[in-house]
Every structure is written in structure tokens, then in C-alpha cells.
Amino acid sequence: MDQILILDYGSQYTQLIARRVRELGVYTDILPGDAELTDERLAGVKGVVMGGSPWSVYDDGAPVPDGRLYGLGLPVLGVCYGAQRMTADHGGAVATLADREYGKRPVRVAGPDPLFDGVPPEFLSWMSHGDSIERLAPGFRAVAVTDNGIPAAIVHDSLPLRGVQFHPEVSHCEHGTRILSNFVFGICGCERSWTMERYIDEERGRLRERVGGSPVLLLISGGVDSTVAAALLLETLGAERVHLLYIDTGLMRKDESVEVMRTLNALGASHVHRADAEADFLAALAGLTDPEAKRHAIGDLFITVQRREVERLGLGDDYFLAQGTLYTDLIESGKGVGKQAHVIKSHHNVRSPLVEAKRAEGRIIEPLDRLYKDEVRALGRALGVPEAVVSRHPFPGPGLGVRVLGEVTKEKCDALRAADDVYIRELRARGLYDRIWQAFAVLLPVRSVGVAGDVRRYGWTVALRAVASTDGMTADVFEFPMRDLLEISAMITNRVPEVGRVVYDVSSKPPATIEWE
């Protein structure tokens, strides 16, 4: 299958380039910007995009591409840092601007190039850079310039090398999709081969071949990813071979466990194992208030319960372990560079000893590991997973354990479940749920004075969170309609007597994270 390789130099926009190209129907893979470009790695690659970066090209340690890159004969498009890197690597010069250029800037196309086919001679581009090309490298010419005379696009006279200073992947960039499409189809000659039907066909073939006649165990979290993975496995391998394990930590949302069981049954599963471990988890969390201590306690216990339940299933040694790992999970855990270089939160779903042991045996299957979240949703729809599950907001592995701030108790979990249920139901009823990437309630360890009837009330504080995002790596605050917010707040304090006050979280990520712990 044709693919575009994206070299990651640490810009937050790198993922966006990958997604935009996939939306055009071409598979993308992201590699660290300095990765070795072996023949094996280049199989199927029709073009390379060098992404942006927080680095300046002359910084000590600034990442450089494999020396083979420019001589491969493959079309290369440098974006922002990528264009500057390409310039510096070919003997041109890059300089720091007096003022960082950010936002929409007019660009004038100064010469014919297939990159600008169908693009008007002037358009508004999206800029975000502190450095710019000062002197073109020999062999390069500018085919577009900004209104202040800076090269906005460069092309080599004889090699298939191009660069743009602006960000065609950002939706604010006029004709950005057209420019990317010109590169991917016109210049690289890619075929539109990345479709869900093709993915399903290929993945089913791969699964059958890898698994043979062995049983498969899939860990179910109740979220979109594991449910869609279950649907794919059930449809491909049949219900007899697929064992589903769901650990109920007691840190789930209202009625969630019942709904998970219902969904799996509707998908035709016949071996569904539900382990009720609420008491274990509450005991492990008793007295803990530090977020990382809580995350570790939940993660460790999860592993213990997982091991115990897997033994209880008696699947023997030759079973395969399936996981609903997504492409972004791999990137976040270090496949690219510049992402979460240090641990901001320990996501417990990436390093379980069971998973590691199975990986070492070569018995892990991750049928979603090439997909982004929106592609998993499309796959789920194609496989008949109910829309309510497919469009469900993400939910963290440690569940309410990180949404009841401070010490977790059953009473607090129950109060939070009730408040969250009112919130989410209302979002759905008001047509807001699908406009929000992730929404949830958080129980703060703060009590405040209020009045109900004529009686003094001393209740907990609930914070409502709603964010817009594409992958959870960055997030904007959802601009909640005020009237809805006020009405939902009143419903929560009326229906959940333990809650005396409701606040709305107006922090974006960064600097805040989406979850509070």
C-alpha cells in the first residue's frame, strides 16, 4: 500500500499532517525525525514530509534526518522546521525573526509549481515560526513569498525537494488541503488506497494468519477501542475462540458495567468473563491522596487482578493476548519524538507484565495499532457497533479513581457517578454531547456551605469539564452555552444531595491536563 512517511521533529502539528493525509485516503506513518531510513522502512513510501519543531536548526542537538533522505529520489516536503532544515542542510541560511510570526499571513505564489495547482495566486496561509529562511540554498528557488518578502515555499531545480514555511495541515490555512493533496497525489503519485473496507479485509487476513487455531484473550475496558477490537475479533475468528475479560474496578460510571455486558452480548460474544473487584480497589485506595500514588495503586492492583483472573480462565500458554492499542498510544509511549518526553501521568494501560510477557513471546495482537481514534470509530460503525458506544467519549483506565480527587471512597464515587450521569444525560438530551470531545464531572475534596430549603447544607463541590480536541494531546475548553450550564448545575445540586456547588473548568491543555489527576 502506498504511504507517506512523516518525520517527527517534535511539533504539535505533526500528528495533524498524518491525519490530514489519511483523510485524503493515503496511509501515513510517523517516525522520529532522525530515524534510520532502511530499505525495509521505505517499502511502499511514495513521499516524505519533514514536520515542524520547537528546535532552531543551529541549536546544539537539533535533530537532523538520516543522510540518505535527500538522495533517495523520493519527493520530500519540508514543513516549517522541515523547510529550514532542508535549507540549512543544502548550504542556505536560516535566521531568527525579530518577531515571531503567528497566525494568518498573506502568501503570494511567485512561480509555477505543481504544489500550487488549483491554488489562487494569493491566499491566507497559517504561520507559526520564530525562524525563517534568510538565504536560499544553491539549487533552490522561492515559488511563494509572504507579504514581508520571506520565502513561503521553496523548490529545488532538479531534485524532488520542496519546503513550505506555513502549515498547510492547519485548518485555518486557506487551500491547505489542496496543497497537501497536490503533494500526495500530483507530486508523489500516491493511490487513494487507505479505506476502511480495505483495512478490514487486510486486518482480518492478518489476524487469521497470525492466530491460527489458538484462543484469543481480549481485555475489555468498556471504551470504544476495546469494544471495536472485540467486534473485529468476533467477526473474524468466531465467538468460540474469543475470550473477553472485563475487570469491574468499581471505579466505573453509572450502569457502565451492565451496559458493557449488554453490548458484548449483542456483538455475539459467548465467553465474557466479568471480574468484580470493587472491594479490592477501594481497599487499595484507602488513605491515598497523592495522584501518582493512586494511579500506581490502581495500576498495580489491576495487574494482580488481571493475572489472577487470567489464571482462573485456564487458557493454557498458547493463547494470544489482544489489546485495543491505537496508533496514538504507540506515539505517546515513545514511537515518535518530542511527545511527553517525561512522565506527566503514568497511564497504566501501556505496561502490564502480562502484556510484556506476551509481547516477549510474540503473542500480542493489536488490530487497531495503525488507526487514529476517528478511524476506530469508522471501523466500529462498519462492524455494526452501536452508535452510542462508537461515539462515546474517552474514559481513562483508572476511571473515577482519578476523578474523585484526594482520597477515594465508595460514598464519593457514588455521588460523583450520580452527578456525572445527570451531566452526560443532559449533554445528550441538549445535542451537545457530539460537539464535545470529552466531558465528565470531577469530585473536588472541597466542601462548601449552601442552603437547601431553609436548611444549611455542607456539600461537596463538583467541577464539570468539557473539552474540544482531536486526540487528547492538546485540548481547548468547550465554549459551553451559559444557559445550559446553569440549568445542568441546578439539576445536579437538586438531584445529588451530597453536592452543594458546581463549577466549570475553564483551563485548556496545556497548561492543564484533561483529567485533574
Q: Which of 75, 291, 397, 401 binds ligand XMP (CB under 6 A)?
A: 397
Q: Which of helix, strand or coil describes residue 309?
A: helix
CA angle 488, 459, 453 (to 5 degrees): 75
C-alpha cell at 337: 519524538
The site map against ligand XMP for 483-512 (x = CB under 6 A) is: --------------------------x---
Q: What is the DSSP letter of 98?
A: E
Positions marked active-site: 80, 167, 169
Is there binding between residue 514 and ligand XMP (CB under 6 A)? Answer: yes
Shortest distance, position 462 Cβ to ligand XMP, whole Å? 17
Query: Cis ω on the peptide bond leading into residue 138 (within 30° of 0)?
Result: no
Quick one: CA torsion of 425, 429, 430, 432, rounded to 10 degrees?
A: 60
Contact call for residue 90 and ligand XMP (CB under 6 A): no
Q: Residues 6 or more apart from 149 whose CB is under 8 A from it?
A: none
Give the strand pairing for 122-135 and 93-109.
antiparallel
Q: Which is nearer to ligand XMP, 195 or 513 (CB)?
A: 513
Q: How many CB atoms lie within 10 A of CB 491?
A: 16
Of 387, 405, 421, the C-alpha closest to 495 is: 421
Nearer to ligand XMP, 74 or 462 (CB): 462
| Residue 241 lies near ligand XMP (rule: CB under 6 A) | no
Q: Which residues pair with 4 in a beta bridge?
A: 28, 47
> Residue 168 or residue 397: which is nearer to ligand XMP going by CB?
397
Tell me: does residue 369 bind ligand XMP (CB under 6 A). no
| Interface region with ligand XMP, contact rule CB under 6 A, candidates 128-136, 257-265, 344-352, 409-417 | 344-352
Binds ligand XMP by CB under 6 A, chosen from 167, 253, 348, 370: 348
Helix or strand or coil: residue 136?
Answer: coil
Q: Report, in Å, the least distance between residue 173 CB and ligand XMP.
A: 26
Binding status of residue 141 toward ligand XMP by CB under 6 A = no
User: Shortest gap between Cβ of 502 and ligand XMP (angstroms)?
Assistant: 20
Taking CB under 6 A as the criterion, the residue among 257, 323, 438, 493 binding ligand XMP is: 438
Extract the C-alpha cell encoding 83.
523547510
Examine residue 398 and tell whether it contacts ligand XMP (CB under 6 A): yes
27: number of Cβ within 10 Å: 20
Q: Which of 41, 254, 347, 447 binds ligand XMP (CB under 6 A)?
A: 347
**Nearest distance in Å: CB 52, ligand XMP:** 22
Residue among 53, 323, 349, 489 that touches ligand XMP (CB under 6 A):
349
CA distances from 219 to 32, 214, 354, 400, 510 (A): 30, 16, 11, 19, 31
Which residue from 6, 441, 397 is spatially nearest to 183, judged by alpha carbons?
Answer: 6
From the list 42-50, 181-189, 302-310, 392-400, the region that binds ligand XMP by CB under 6 A is 392-400
Chain positions contacting ligand XMP, by CB under 6 A: 345, 347-349, 394, 396-398, 438, 472, 509, 513-515
